[in-house]
Structure 1
Amino acid sequence: MSLASLLTSLSGLWAIRADALTNLADSLQHLADMPEAASARAGASRAEDNPPYRMDGSLAIVPVTGTLTKNGLRFWGLDLLTSMRGISAALRRAEADPAVRAILLDVDSPGGSVDGIEELAGAVAAVGAGKPLYAYADGLMASAAYWLSCGAREIAAPATAEVGSIGVVMMHREVSKALDEYGVKYTVIAAGHYKAAGNSVEPLSDEMRAYLQSGIDDVYELFLQAVEQGRGVSREKALTMADGKIFIAGEALKAGLIDRVCSRAAFISHIKESTIMNLAELKAQHPEAVRELRAELETEAASVNAQARDSARAEGEKAERDRVLALAGTILGKEDADRLKAVAASGVSPEVLASLQGVLAPARPDKQQEALDALKAAAAGKPLSPMAALGEEESTAAPDFDALVAAHIKASGCSRGAAIQAMAAAHPEEHQAWIDAQNAKRK
């Protein structure tokens, strides 16, 4: 890329202090006028030529200095413009570095070109989502430099720093009068009404000025949105911050552009305390906070355990109710068992159901009390043996299998063989004990 091409690009959109853009144009023009520049060529800055960041403990410090352009500019071995893509690459390397616990953008920049700034701001947001990312205005944080920094977790500046200049600028260079003085006349031939808008050899008409202004306004809207999202402010608040003014640090703090006014060393210490402190340091420096946190965690753990016990108890009670209803069904028969399950599922209490005995039409009066007793036990979540369902006194010992068989015969009127088969299915442990006892007697 030649210096002439760079000078032409200065007519594009910039997010930079206006005086910085003018100085940049003058500097590049001065270089272009030097005899040595005829054979010299400029090139993009190479990120690998410089360390991407330096470490302060576990903090990676990424420099953001000078005028920013998408690919930067190197001329005669010097970096005249800083590469935005080089900064993005440094941020990604810091994010991937396991030794890095937090990242600091060390900013001293008047801003730069609009081309490339959204890409860099997106990289800042993406890296900041993975690791804590901060920004420090070490002298000047203006325009595009603020655009990329406003997404940081915190922004700080020393008392003498300048912050702001939020806006978009375009520089139109008209040389028509100078050309007239030299007797040179340019004729611009273009297809498309706005194709030659803003060219430097013709005066800028009101129509073309309005056309160029609309493009500036569109980019300014993007800048406003970045401030709103990055600083978490309303559109009205963003407009008070983004009117193009440059603020000294104290005023920038009042306006909401930054979060604290302090020295660079104090801000780095603050970052380390906030994000890099290990457990040993935390215990040593903040024992009260550690104790409070431990107590909070223990209380939360106890609450979770209590909920788990309550849930397990409820599940156990439900399982026991289902078992009792199954036993009652074995004793009463399928028809009464279905009625009993339907009544239990309705949620009615045994007491209410008992008060309605005179209203209900019992098909089998001799079984109604048995069903009520079984329902009461099921609702209370207490185990009920078939003997108790028949009105017999419940023993604290395991029920005798012969007694279970007798109770089933009494309740259902079936044969002893059928009763043994039914009780063996309902009480396999008691059935096995009964078999063992019978075998022992035969010996």
Structure 2
Amino acid sequence: MTLPQLPTLWAMQPEALAALADTLSQDAEGRAARPRQEAQEALTYTVEDGLAVIPVQGALSKHGLELWGLRLLTSMRGIAAMLTSAAADPTVRAILLDVDSPGGTVDGIEALHGAVRQAAAGKPLYAWADGLMASAAYWMACGARRIGAPATAQVGSIGVISMHREYSRALENGGVRYTVLAAGRYKAAGNPVEPLSDEMRAYLQSGIDAVYELFLSAVEQGRGVSRDKALSMADGKIFIAGEALRAGLVDRVCSREEFINDIRRDMSMSLAELRAQNPDLEQELQAELEKARAEGAASARAQAADSERETLLALADVVLGPSADTLKAVVRAGVTPEQLKALRPLFAPKAASRSTAESDPARDRALEALAAAAAAPLSTAPEAVAEPAAKDDYMALVKEDMRVSGRTRGQAMAEVAREHPEAHALWLECAQKEKK
């Protein structure tokens, strides 16, 4: 692998990019004689007392790069996978990006920055510049809640770079001539065997400027600064930690231990501190709680009404038999007692048969039974401790059936009435006597 096969756009320190290119060129020339190294360990994070530490080390690229067991480029997708896993890990309460990187490719950095933002939306996320946090590494980390660095750390180098190597003079001196054939005016722009014209330079620069604009926007949003402030931070300079603090690139210059202690204090913030720092939060939470209580009470009332209705309909089914179908249809249609009372004259029996209709003993018994059922206490919850039910105690049998089967009260009453008709008849008789 040689440099022309690498991505053309980088958010990386120029000297680090040049060193990487030289390393790859030397490896390509001497790879046959180089012994194979042991494979690198898979990317993973550690968790201690609820803090997940995600390592971000070395130059970065979308897929990473390993040659002969050596990791030359760290996978951005591997880092994003660790972020996703830590955000979903129930043992993790906060996340720390432990960064020591000169940056990396432009390809893949937007997706990694998005993974950082998504993880930070669910859990507090911090970043530590462990020696070097440059270019794409800063692009990734600028959305952290707080960025810390030791006094000797280097932070910044915010910008975009592309290296163009041109070998036309060397090839000519060596007696080699290349002819580039391409369809499309800019198809061969930046090729290494032809001098770079002003037109092709402007074309390549336009792409660099577009990526730089994305970088600036990420810094603006992540650090909460204006465009002018972002431009002052993103001029390509690399800052020592103290300068980075004054420029607004980091939030704290301290030891690693002090920074982690700050994070742990955030994790264990007391309720009093939370109230002091967020005076409106308690009122919002109280409002949410009251809303939840009101909704719960309304739901409980609706469930109680449904339970009562089903109890009465089940009893009507037992007492009235097929005649209960009309009652069920009326109730389930949502007709209220007041509406029924208003409609009653339309369904009143004719004068000739009124005395007979009003003295119907079967109807009177059914109405009395329904009235007794409506007066009885309703509960859909089984008794915590149930005594063995007597065979002639209808309501005790109902409670026992609810406890064993999980049926509602109305369902249990109907079931027990079918299985124990004698107990049911005795209960009806007692209910009618109490009514009189």
**TM tier, smaller:** 0.5 to 0.7
Amino acid at match of 2:143: G
Instruction: State the 1:9 CA deviation.
Output: 3.3
Partner of 1:430: none
Q: Distance in 2 between matches of 1:269 and 1:176?
A: 57
Query: What whole-Å deviation, never above 9, does each CA across 1:234-291 have from its counterpart, x for those lacking one?
Result: 000000000000001111111111111111111111001102x27xxx48xxxx759x
Instruction: State the 1:219 CA deviation.
Output: 0.2
Is contact 1:108–1:140 with CA below 8 Å preserved after alignment?
yes
Instruction: State the 1:11 CA deviation.
Output: 5.5
Amino acid at match of 1:130: G
1:171 and 2:163 equivalent?
yes
1:232 and 2:224 equivalent?
yes
Is contact 2:43–2:79 with CA below 8 Å preserved after alignment?
no
TM-score, length basis structure 2 = 0.61
Is contact 2:43–2:78 with CA below 8 Å preserved after alignment?
no
State how 1:128-207 maps to structure 2 within 5 Å. Answer: 128-207=120-199
Cα RMSD, aligned residues only: 2.7
Is contact 1:157–1:260 with CA below 8 Å preserved after alignment?
yes
1:184–1:38 Cα change, 3 Å: farther
Q: Distance in 2 between matches of 1:131 and 1:147?
A: 19
1:17 and 2:13 equivalent?
yes
Q: Distance in 1 between matches of 2:12 and 2:121?
A: 27
Partner of 2:77: 85
Partner of 2:22: 26
Amino acid at match of 1:21: L
Is contact 2:130–2:150 with CA below 8 Å preserved after alignment?
yes
Amino acid at match of 1:168: V
Query: What whole-Å deviation, never above 9, does each CA across 1:345-382 have from its counterpart, x for those lacking one?
Result: xxxxxxxxxxxxxxxxxxxxxxxxxxxxxxxxxxxxxx
Partner of 1:258: 250
Amino acid at match of 2:265: E
1:262–1:189 Cα change, 3 Å: same
Q: Distance in 2 between matches of 1:15 and 1:37?
A: 33
Q: Please tell me whether Structure 1 or Structure 2 has the larger radius of gyration of its CA atoms.
A: 1
Match of 2:214 among 197, 222, 227: 222
Is contact 2:109–2:136 with CA below 8 Å preserved after alignment?
yes
Is contact 1:60–1:102 with CA below 8 Å preserved after alignment?
yes
Is contact 1:11–1:171 with CA below 8 Å preserved after alignment?
no
1:76 and 2:68 equivalent?
yes
What are the ranges of 5 or more consecutive residues in structure 2 without an aligned counterpart? 292-436
Is contact 2:245–2:252 with CA below 8 Å preserved after alignment?
yes
Is contact 2:7–2:105 with CA below 8 Å preserved after alignment?
no
Percent of residue pairs bearing the same amino acid type: 63
Q: Distance in 2 between matches of 1:30 and 1:147?
A: 30
Q: Distance in 2 between matches of 1:155 and 1:69?
A: 22
Match of 2:114 among 93, 117, 122: 122
The 4+ residue runs of structure 1 with deviation greater than 6 A are 37-40
1:38–1:58 Cα change, 3 Å: closer
- The number of residues matched between the two structures is 284
Q: Distance in 1 between matches of 2:150 and 2:219?
A: 21
Q: Distance in 2 between matches of 1:181 and 1:119?
A: 45
Instruction: State the 1:180 CA deviation.
Output: 1.1
1:38–1:155 Cα change, 3 Å: closer
Is contact 1:58–1:102 with CA below 8 Å preserved after alignment?
yes
Q: SS of the residue aligned with 2:186?
A: coil
Is contact 1:10–1:171 with CA below 8 Å preserved after alignment?
no
Is contact 1:11–1:173 with CA below 8 Å preserved after alignment?
no
Is contact 1:135–1:156 with CA below 8 Å preserved after alignment?
yes
Q: SS of the residue aligned with 2:193?
A: coil
TM-score, length basis structure 1 = 0.60
Instruction: State the 1:86 CA deviation.
Output: 0.2
Q: Distance in 1 between matches of 2:213 and 2:283?
A: 46
State how 1:4-403 maps to structure 2 within 5 Å. Answer: 4=2, 7-10=3-6, 12-36=8-32, 49-275=41-267, 277=268, 282=270, 289=273
Partner of 1:316: none
Q: Distance in 2 between matches of 1:179 and 1:25?
A: 20
Is contact 2:60–2:74 with CA below 8 Å preserved after alignment?
yes
Instruction: State the 1:138 CA deviation.
Output: 0.5
Instruction: State the 1:36 CA deviation.
Output: 0.7
Q: Distance in 1 between matches of 2:147 and 2:90?
A: 24
Amino acid at match of 1:251: E
Instruction: State the 1:56 CA deviation.
Output: 2.3
